[in-house]
Amino acid sequence: MEKNKMRLVQGNEACVMGALYAGMRFYAGYPITPSSEIAEESSIQLPKVGGKFIQMEDEIASMAAAIGASLAGKKAMTATSGPGFSLKQENIGFACMAEVPVVIVNVMRMGPSTGLPTSPAQGDIMQARWGTHGDHPIIVITPTSVKEMYEFTIRAFNLAEKYRTPVILLADEVIAHMREGVEIRTDIEVIDRAKPTPGEPYLPYQLKEGDIVPPLASFGDGYRFHVTGLSHGENGFPTNSVEINNALIRRLNSKITDHLDDIVEVEEGYTSDAEFLILSIGSTARAAKSVVNTLREQGIKIGYFIPKTVWPFPEKELKECFKTVKKVIVPEMNMGQIALEVERVAAGQAEVHRLNKVTGELFTVAEINDGVMAVINK
């Protein structure tokens, strides 16, 4: 095996490196700051490996093209930000319903609307979960470093292929534009979608005993199968049957909720005896970690909890913390979105304190420290 190399790379560049490692062979996008480097780098690299890049006329078309390419058998990705993420929502729902593996990168910027195009924010956490209509499953993962931009992009493709679902890599502007030294790992497993067994009859939405999801054939394989966003039976054709619809919606959701141990990833520090906890994601988590390390040196029983999978939310893992934690501080670059989830999970077992910043700037270590101390000293 090739030895892992150290490289100084930008977050968005690391994302493309991860995508190529995972087998991305199609990218469709529409330029938007702060995600444009992902498109630019993809346009350089993809033809070198026989893959395809296309700049579509908008984000709706980009999302559609990525899904089309995936159905034709290529691992596909699209990247965007803020307004573009809003435009992609309808077709993300199509990919959920039709169970098409695809990776969507959303580099969060300050909103609403055009907002502050180059300023960091974390205001799309609920949109990533519920942006498209209807009860749908979704996996959303959140990197905190350039290294994680690389590794989580690989993970995003692996989860998309394994669970036949769109996966959203939810980064913030800081992680996307930051440069860090990264060990480019080449020992990470790559998962490819399960394909139907040749010679056997194929129903594209029939779950076989022991499988996580039904296998997915590619257009052109000879199965002549149908894919639709309408509610459909195991054969893929639309139906108005209430039983079949019920079974479909439940299976779509349970394929994720039955595999939380595989999907949910959290980084925790000092939580075994913590009375206080800082819960945060992305670039905010970096500052939070440093605050916790300093306060621990001062003897304060504080820990950190960083959801690396933000959806499904790491409920079980957080509940475990409430055996000792009495107060949680949730710093977010928004008006309080993850805090809603923390409050739900805490269910009165611990106090939840919000710390919100919407200036379009990063949290400083001092700001989080002050916010935390105010809660501790209350």
Partner 1 sequence: MKTTEYLREDKLPHIWCPGCGNGIVISNIIRAVDALNLKRENTVIVSGIGCSSRAAGYMNFDTLHTTHGRAIPFATGIKMANPDLNVIVISGDGDATAIGGNHFIHASRRNLDLTLIVVNNNIYGMTSGQYSPLTPTGKIATTAPYGNIDRPFDLCELAEAAGATYVARGSVYHVQQLKRYVERGIQNKGFSVIEALSICPTYFGRKNKMGSPVKMLEGIRDNAVIYNGKNKEEGKDKFLIGEFKNEPDREYTESYQKIIDSLKEGK
- Give every CB contact of residue 338 below 8 A, 6+ residues apart in sequence: 125, 279, 280, 281, 307, 310, 330, 332
Is residue 323 within 8 A of residue 268, CB to CB? The reply is no
How far is 49 from 72, CA to CA, in rounded Å?
Answer: 18
Which residue stretch of 15-23, 87-95, 103-111, 331-339 sits at the interface with partner 1 (rule: CB under 8 A)? 87-95
Q: Judged by CB under 8 A, which of 114, 186, 228, 359 binds partner 1? A: 228
Closer CB to partner 1, 73 or 360, in the complex: 73
76 binds partner 1 (CB under 8 A): yes
| 180 membership: H or E segment, kind and range | strand 179-184
The binding track of 16-45 with respect to partner 1, each residue x by CB under 8 A or -, is ---------xx-x-----------------
3-state secondary structure (DSSP) of residue 126: helix
Closer CB to partner 1, 70 or 144, in the complex: 70
Closer CB to partner 1, 10 or 91, in the complex: 91
Which residue stretch of 65-73, 113-121, 142-150, 291-299 sits at the interface with partner 1 (rule: CB under 8 A)? 65-73
57 binds partner 1 (CB under 8 A): yes
| 184 membership: H or E segment, kind and range | strand 179-184
Q: Judged by CB under 8 A, which of 48, 133, 210, 348 binds partner 1? A: 48
Q: How many CA atoms lie within 13 A of 160 on its CB side?
A: 34
94 binds partner 1 (CB under 8 A): yes
Residue 105 bridge partners (DSSP): 79, 169
Residue 13 beta carbon to partner 1: minimum distance, rounded to whole angstroms: 19
- Give every CB contact of residue 245 below 8 A, 6+ residues apart in sequence: 231, 239
Which residue stretch of 89-97, 173-181, 278-286, 338-346 sits at the interface with partner 1 (rule: CB under 8 A)? 89-97
Residue 97 beta carbon to partner 1: minimum distance, rounded to whole angstroms: 10
How far is 125 from 171, CA to CA, in rounded Å?
Answer: 10
Residue 105 beta carbon to partner 1: minimum distance, rounded to whole angstroms: 17
- The tokens describing 170, both together, are 């939810």
How far is 192 from 183, CA to CA, in rounded Å?
Answer: 24
Closer CB to partner 1, 26 or 311, in the complex: 26
248 binds partner 1 (CB under 8 A): no
How far is 355 from 334, CA to CA, in rounded Å?
Answer: 9
104 binds partner 1 (CB under 8 A): no
DSSP of 156-169? HHHHHHHHTSEEEE
Is residue 174 within 8 A of residue 120, CB to CB? The reply is yes
198 binds partner 1 (CB under 8 A): no
Closer CB to partner 1, 116 or 227, in the complex: 227
The binding track of 286-325 with respect to partner 1, each residue x by CB under 8 A or -, is ----------------------------------------
Q: Judged by CB under 8 A, which of 227, 300, 375, 376 binds partner 1? A: 227
354 binds partner 1 (CB under 8 A): no
233 binds partner 1 (CB under 8 A): no
How far is 8 from 11, CA to CA, in rounded Å?
Answer: 10
Closer CB to partner 1, 57 or 261, in the complex: 57
How far is 285 from 267, CA to CA, in rounded Å?
Answer: 10
Return the residue matching tokens 């860090």. 180
How far is 103 from 57, CA to CA, in rounded Å?
Answer: 19
Closer CB to partner 1, 157 or 305, in the complex: 157
Using alpha carbons, select from 51, 62, 56 the residue that is nearest to residue 23. 51
133 binds partner 1 (CB under 8 A): no
How far is 368 from 343, CA to CA, in rounded Å?
Answer: 19
Which residue stretch of 68-76, 104-112, 177-185, 263-271 sits at the interface with partner 1 (rule: CB under 8 A)? 68-76
Footprint on this chain of partner 1 (rule: CB under 8 A): 25-26, 28, 47-48, 50, 52, 54, 56-58, 60-62, 64-74, 76, 90-91, 94, 218-230, 237-238
